[in-house]
Chains A and B, each alone.
Chain A
């Protein structure tokens, strides 16, 4: 039953409309209903994919080139399930967070429809099978993520969101120009057709360059990272979690997808090495900057800059070894779960004392015990301690770097990991301090806030134990060749 493919897009989209219409009347019951049905639609598709393999769907019966096609294989399925679980848990968290921090009703009314629209956009991005639809979904991501940054209603936040908007839209337009190049060259927008047709020529190289630049600007790879720390740290914490964990992974997914389809025949190892090199700088620079921050959310945001660097190390490693992409996805998902947990812990701390200055955490552990524990658990995956999800990624980077004789990356990974130990332990050390706390307690941290963050952190950790089944799921429809 291939109609199941349309639900992951339609159900969250309609939920967004309904929640917008409900306005002030939205309560936990409504939220649970809408988020569970959105999650359910994805799980329903998962069940169909598991039983009948990769699916292709022509919306309203119109096939390519006139209609819009959806395509679903293991690669899109894994991303969709991962993002949907994270969306679901963050939505639960945000309900308690807004309540505990006594946010104005107006913000809640704006937040929920935006999250559901973003959810729908992410699912559409993973399911799209033509390059123009991907442009549309990228813009859906931008237009829903940017207003969420501005929800903090502070000048710095609105400035950060405007900067984010301009970079993101510039990136999308460069991507669109790449779409034009591919279309004029080969007369189709369908990814699977383009894969067969695209040949090395100035047009395809132009498209490769424009799309890559546009997409890495949106993924915030060094040197296009500068919009990320202000935007991700100024946003309200549940929003930061969504942005850092999920939104930047959308363009990264497109890059992986194109690298294994359209651009497969026109690849040049130089581009892969360049991306890996930028990733290496991002790892060191991001981790070094994270260590220097005195605000917790900025520290976590710079840690994202560093972790994006690891995602791009997979490009040079995958040159003759396309199976490593499966590990890249495990690593990206482990980062998504761990990073959302870290930002939710930052939310807990902001809830408790309205500020997130790191040095003022001295002596706060009697109130923040569970939060510190969650931070540490998620930190294990960020640091890459065995047997967490992050460890699987780093171990395979090291292993492949040795077997393919690209020894240079090993030094980067080791240095980056040492720096990440430093910035995670910089926070954890406050859970052992003996001093009395100087700050006043403001708002309570409820059970559900700790529980959802703990779930996210545990998933990122135990991913190291079941990554083989994730890889098995990715291989449905063999997106990375046989």
Chain B
């Protein structure tokens, strides 16, 4: 088995853990972490796919992942900002009825 497949497998495991967190967790912060894990797993798979046996690393895959990371950072920032806003409303449910 070539070492690249190992990275692909690792990436798939990481993204499955992330997906599991998003789908099953009841806590928002865990869902956001799950989203990050899912992203990281996908990026790992992309990078590992970029290196095929006996070839140079594929620069296109690297640039794709770079773009992906930038998007992932902004998504996380937005999610955390929204979560902070939710916390600042407090836990009273009167607000939700109006």
A binds B: yes
- Given A66-B60, A132-B64; 15 other pairs, CB 8 A cutoff: A135-B68, A143-B78, A155-B86, A155-B95, A158-B89, A165-B82, A166-B31, A169-B35, A173-B15, A173-B35, A176-B68, A180-B46, A180-B49, A183-B61, A189-B60
Q: Choose one: B15, B68, B78; the contact of A146 (CB below 8 Å).
A: B78
A159 to chain B: which residues have CB within 8 Å?
A: 86
- Per-residue contact bits, chain B 35-47, to A (CB 8 Å; 1 contact, 0 not): 1001100100110
Beta-carbon contact of A173 and B95 below 8 Å = no
A-B CB contact pairs (8 Å), 20 listed: A65-B60, A136-B67, A142-B75, A143-B75, A150-B85, A155-B89, A156-B95, A156-B96, A158-B82, A161-B82, A162-B79, A166-B31, A169-B39, A169-B75, A170-B38, A173-B42, A179-B64, A180-B46, A183-B60, A183-B61
A180 to chain B: which residues have CB within 8 Å?
A: 42, 45-46, 49, 61
Tell me the nearest residue of chain A to B31, going by C-beta: A166
User: A184 contacts the other chain (Cβ, under 8 Å)?
Assistant: yes
Tell me the nearest residue of chain A to B91, going by C-beta: A155
Tell me the nearest residue of chain A to B76, going by C-beta: A169
Alpha-carbon distance A217/B83, docked complex (angstroms): 22
Q: Within B58-98, which residues are at the interface with A (CB < 8 Å)?
A: 60-61, 64, 67-68, 71, 74-75, 78-79, 82-83, 85-86, 89, 95-96, 98
| Known A162-B82, A162-B86, A180-B46; contact A154-B38, beta-carbon cutoff 8 A | no
Interface residues on B, range: 20 to 34
Q: Choose one: A146, A154, A161; the contact of B95 (CB below 8 Å).
A: A154
Q: Within A158-192, which residues are at the interface with B (CB < 8 Å)?
A: 158-159, 161-162, 165-166, 169-170, 173, 176-177, 179-180, 183-184, 189
User: A139 contacts the other chain (Cβ, under 8 Å)?
Assistant: yes
Alpha-carbon distance A30/B28, docked complex (angstroms): 40
Beta-carbon contact of A155 and B61 below 8 Å = no
Beta-carbon contact of B96 and A155 below 8 Å = yes
A147 to chain B: which residues have CB within 8 Å?
A: 78
Chain A interface residue count, CB cutoff 8 Å, equals 30
| Known A143-B75, A173-B39; contact A166-B64, beta-carbon cutoff 8 A | no
Q: Within B18-56, which residues are at the interface with A (CB < 8 Å)?
A: 19, 22, 28, 31-32, 35, 38-39, 42, 45-46, 49, 52
B46 to chain A: which residues have CB within 8 Å?
A: 176, 180
A189 to chain B: which residues have CB within 8 Å?
A: 60
Alpha-carbon distance A134/B38, docked complex (angstroms): 19
Tell me the nearest residue of chain B to A172, going by C-beta: B71
A66 to chain B: which residues have CB within 8 Å?
A: 60
B45 to chain A, nearest CB (A): 6
Determine which residue in A166, A173, A179 has the highest number of CB atoms from chain B within 10 A of its CB, and name it.
Answer: A173
Beta-carbon contact of B96 and A176 below 8 Å = no
Beta-carbon contact of A170 and B49 below 8 Å = no
Alpha-carbon distance A150/B75, docked complex (angstroms): 15
B72 to chain A, nearest CB (A): 8
Alpha-carbon distance A416/B15, docked complex (angstroms): 38
Alpha-carbon distance A142/B71, docked complex (angstroms): 11
| Known A177-B15, A183-B61; contact A136-B71, beta-carbon cutoff 8 A | yes
Determine which residue in B61, B79, B83 has the highest number of CB atoms from chain A within 10 A of its CB, and name it.
Answer: B79
Alpha-carbon distance A165/B67, docked complex (angstroms): 19
A409 to chain B, nearest CB (A): 31
B98 to chain A, nearest CB (A): 7
Tell me the nearest residue of chain B to A168, going by C-beta: B75
A59 to chain B, nearest CB (A): 15
A158 to chain B: which residues have CB within 8 Å?
A: 82, 85-86, 89
B97 to chain A, nearest CB (A): 9
